Structure 1
Amino acid sequence: MSPRIAALAALLALAGCATVDMDQHVAAVNQDAAAFTGGQLALARTEAERTRQQAAANRLLAAPLGQAEAVQLALLNSPAVQATLAQHWADAAGAAQQARLANPVFGFERMRGGGELEIARTLSFGLFELLTLPARAALADQRIAAARLQLTAGVVDQATQVRQAWVRAVAARQSLAYARQVADSAEVSAELARRMQAVGNWNRLTRARQQLFYADATTQLALAQQAELAAREQLVRLLGLTGTQAARLTLPERLPDLPAEPLAPQALGTAALDTRLDVRLARTRYDAAARAQGLERVASVIDAELAARSDTAWGHGARQSPRGWALGLRLPLFDWGGARRDAMTAQTLAAANALEAARRAAESELREGYAAYRSAWDVARHWQDEVVPLRRLMQEENLLRYNAMLIGVFELLQDAREQVRSVSAALDAQQRFWLADAALQAALVGRPLAPNPAVAAPALAGGSDAQAH
């Protein structure tokens, strides 16, 4: 093999070294976010792959959808997830393109004059690009790694949104069931009050109080129905369901039971802060900025172009074929690149401070997320173990008093309504816990969310008694 051919082969090998294997990127995301994806994340690029994903989604829809199954369904079915994967592919391919050599330029000249004909052929390429190719390839790898971490963060965000939307949808369904119980109790009370007034046992004021409670319960039922529909549709959107699929979606009757014990603070693993996605992403961006700054220090001052030239001239009965090479240098006469170097220095400094800020914020976010999680567990457990049993005990005692004719039917109905209210408040506390749990799981991998979304705080146990009288 001639030296020219060997050199050309080496250039082609170097120029094509930067590639993007999307399957490897998806596998890396499934590994980094295994607790969120369960290894189910995949990019459907063919009709056959989309068909397989739809079949898997239909199998999940055939049974009541749990929280983990909801995340799997979103990964398999949501066009938003597929759009995120495709956009990452485009971003990673763009980063890989920066590590490729620009195509060489072929020049052809034909000159005739004085009875002579001259043909010149040149093949030129950027010498500086060739010399810095290894450094630019390493920079492209860092940018691709940053894009992969960003993809992982996006998938974790979407999975967390699905988890919280599932909690809200199931809780809204439970709340609607309790709202129906209150409305039914109020309707019975209002009808009984009407009959008692008709026979002259009650006055209009007493009946109006019962009728007003019934009207309020009916309003609360309508609001609960709308809240349940809104929560369900939010989940439908995050799952990417079609109208037909949405009609098949069924949810569990109730939220999961509270864990017997909350996570211990040691489970946060504060020593593993450097493995969080936000810290890893900030470090990758800093490394890329530092490497780019090193390249820019040279590129801002000088640029070179190397060309191989072959001429053929005919004239005066002779043919000449001189060959050689040419080197072109960009002279820094007007721009010495100071502004470009300052910009790169500033970007590196900003990336370094962003890395330190991410590390400091990570510790605070973990403490805040765990505090919200633990507080929500304590409150939910208090309602479940203390308030609701006390309300149930009061209801049982009042039933005995009613059987002994010590209280009337309206007092018994009122007590039943208070029992339902306490259970509803306990449900609110349980919902807040599972939302905080999803937020904490996201914070552990470096994607913190608001630990307590807008959920009404549970009412005091005796608050509705004061309102009823």
Structure 2
Amino acid sequence: MMRRPNPTRLRWRVAAAAAAVLLTGCAAPAIESNYAEVQRSSRERLGADLKWLTTDEARRQARSDVDAALARPLSQDDAVRIALAYSPALQSALAEGAASSAAATQSARLPNPVFSFERLVRGEGDGRELEIGRALTLPLLDLLLLPARARQADQRQQQLRLQAVGEVAQAAIDARAAWVRAVAAQQSLAYFEQVKTAADASAELARRMQAVGNFSKLQRARQQAFYAEAVAQLARARQAAQSTREALVRALGLDAEQATGLKLPERLPDLPAQPQEEHAFGQQALDGRLDVALAKAHLGVVAQEQGLTRVTSLVDGLHLGVQRNSASGAPPQKGFDLELPLPIFDAGDAHRAQAQASYLAALNKAAAVGVQAASQLREAYGSYRTAYDLARHYRDEIVPLRRTIQEENLLRYNGMLIGVFELLADAREQIGSVIQAIDAQRDFWLADAGLQAAALGKPTPFPGMDARPASAGAPASGH
């Protein structure tokens, strides 16, 4: 005859099984949820898809996609896409974020119950008695604080998501800025080569004219000095082009074979028709900054920790044990024991003071981040607008004026009103103006990337708006 199960015992078993499933949980869903949130934010904020390469097949496909993008001149958007879908540095950051997410999940779990077993033999021979003790101990305080620890773990997961979004944003900004510098350096190099060509011509002509007695030693020395300066400028330009190209290779995570096949456009993109308006970077942009959101999330975590500390600083352990002991010839003993540390030597006041101070530090840190964020946005927009106005000034005023001067001097040369050296000097000055215009255009696109970084909460240094551009244009003419 089958024995009917005890309904009460059955309900306890079902409840225990459900609790075990609920409390143990799984770290994988939290990792996947965090990655999906970071991927969505990347798509919305950066306009590019983030990929986490967790399998060999995914890595092979990513390499194939990168090779296809490198088969043509690399655009700025393609550089960002490669950085977010292939860069080993970013892939490492994503994996580290997943490990931290698993640790946050682990922090919300209960410690495992402890089962202890005792087997004692008393006496010898036929008078030997056997005692067996069994005990199951549960961390009761941890069970009572489980909801608070779960909320704390959720706050930590939010922190990790924001940190991951920041890593992705930084990778995109670095790739964008590296692309701008590499293209600008390559474009400037082409014009420095033209300066060198003009210097070659003037130095050779000066040598010949001195040889036939039509040029003084001083006049030839001036042309030779300009040639020597042009050679030095060209060497620096070549090094700058190589250095910025390698910086781009590192930002994208390309290997040696891919770096060799990297092709860049011949010139930077044109300036936009109109600059972005300042009101677009007001309170809404400030609230959307990652560092502001991260500071608020950190404040939430510290507040949760402070609430837990108020309890655990006084009573840091409470264990409930269920026991069953049996001995030879005696009925079994059943019961429970409760283990509670007594706050005699340590009342927990130091822990509570530390938690209060940490909360005040986080509160003021959040306020400081808000002040800095607003200031950085204003500074970033000021740099952006200055760079735009300066680049447009070179494009619309200085370069056209230099072109007009060159055209007029060419007419004067054809009319034998000026000599060939004056014409070459004017050509050098026009090339120098074009190089300065390239520098101004480069500074604008770097300031544009800096403004995007400031809106994201990842500020980057902005190019200085000096009176003289960084590359200084062509060397001074010798006429």
Could you tell me the TM-score, scaled by structure 2's length?
0.93
Distance 1:37 1:16, change over 3 A: farther
1:14 aligns with 2:25: no
Structure-2 residue corresponding to 1:324: 335
> Residue 231 of structure 1 aligns with which residue?
244
Aligned to 1:277: 290
Q: What residue in structure 1 maps to residue 189 of structure 2?
A: 176
Between the aligned partners of 1:220 and 1:400, the Cα distance in structure 2 is 30
Q: Secondary structure at the match of 1:63?
A: coil
Paired AA for residue 298 in structure 1: V
- Whether the aligned pair in 1 keeps the contact of 2:42 and 2:49 (CA below 8 Å) is no
CA distance in 2, matches of 1:460, 1:84: 35
Q: Identify the residue that residue 305 of structure 1 maps to in structure 2.
A: 319
Counterpart of 2:65 in structure 1 is: 56
Query: Retained in 1: the 8 A contact 2:74–2:265?
Result: yes
Question: Which residue pairs with 2:198 in the alignment?
Answer: 185
- SS of the counterpart of 1:2? helix
Equivalenced residue count is 465
- 3-state SS of 2:134 partner: strand
State the secondary structure of the residue aligned to 2:27. coil
Partner SS state of residue 155, structure 1? helix
Separation of aligned partners in 2, 1:161 and 1:253: 21
User: Per the alignment, do residues 61 and 453 of structure 1 end up closer, same or farther by CA in structure 2, a change over 3 Å counting?
Assistant: farther
Matched, 1:42 2:21: no
2:86 paired with 1:73: no
State which drifts further: 329-338 or 32-41. 32-41
Matching residue within 397, 401, 404 for 2:412: 401
1:121 aligns with 2:134: yes
Corresponding residue number in structure 2 for 1:314: 328
The answer for the alignment partner of 2:117 in structure 1 is 108
Contact 2:326 2:332 (8 Å CA) reproduced: yes
- Aligned equivalents of 2:143, 2:470: Cα separation in 1: 70
- The CA RMSD measured in Å over matched residues stands at 2.0
5+ residue gaps, structure 1: none
**Distance (Å, rounded) in 2 between the aligned partners of 1:371 and 1:258:** 17
How many percent identity over aligned positions?
51
Q: Deviations over 1:363-392 (max 9, x none)?
A: 111100000000000111111100010000
Matched-pair contact (CA < 8 Å) for 1:432–1:455: no
Q: Is the 8 A contact 2:76 2:176 kept in 1?
A: yes
**Per-residue Cα deviation, 1:261-308 (whole angstroms, up to 9, x for no partner):** 100111114234222111110001101100111011111111200111
Instruction: List aligned pairs for 1:212-291, cutoff 5 A.
Output: 212-291=225-304
8 Å CA contact retained: 1:63, 1:250: yes
Partners of 1:68 and 1:463 in 2: CA distance: 32
Residues 1:232 and 1:456: Cα distance change in structure 2 (over 3 Å): farther
Residue 43 of structure 1 contacts residue 82 of structure 1 at CA under 8 Å; is this kept in 2? Answer: yes
Whichever residue aligns with residue 31 of structure 1, its letter is R
Partners of 2:324 and 2:332 within 8 A in 1: yes
Distance of aligned partners of 1:463 and 1:67 in 2 relative to their CA distance in 1, 3 Å threshold: closer
Amino acid at match of 2:478: A
Which position in structure 2 is the counterpart of 1:159? 172
- Tell me, what secondary structure is at the counterpart of 2:120? strand
Within 2, Cα distance between the matches of 1:121 and 1:89? 40
Distance 1:364 1:70, change over 3 A: same
Instruction: Provide the rounded CA distance (Å) in 2 between the counterparts of 1:211 and 1:74.
Output: 46
Aligned equivalent of 2:423, options 412, 430, 434: 412
SS at match of 1:147: helix
C-alpha separation in 2, matches of 1:415 and 1:461: 17
User: Which of these residues, 129, 143, 150, is aligned with residue 137 of structure 1?
Assistant: 150
Q: Using the TM superposition, give the Cα deviation of residue 200 of structure 1 relative to its aligned residue in structure 2, in angstroms.
A: 1.7
Preserved CA contact (<8 Å) 1:127 1:304: yes
- Aligned with 2:219 (options 206, 222, 227): 206
Q: In the alignment, is the contact (CA less than 8 A) between 2:195 and 2:474 conserved in 1?
A: no
The Cα of 1:175 is off from its aligned counterpart by: 0.9
1:20-51 CA-partner distances (Å, limit 9, x unpaired): 43333222112223256534212111111111
- Structure 2 portions without partners, runs of 5+: 1-8
Partner of 1:436: 447
What's 2:6 paired with? none
Cα pair distance change 1:464/1:225, threshold 3 Å: closer
Shift of 1:72: 0.9
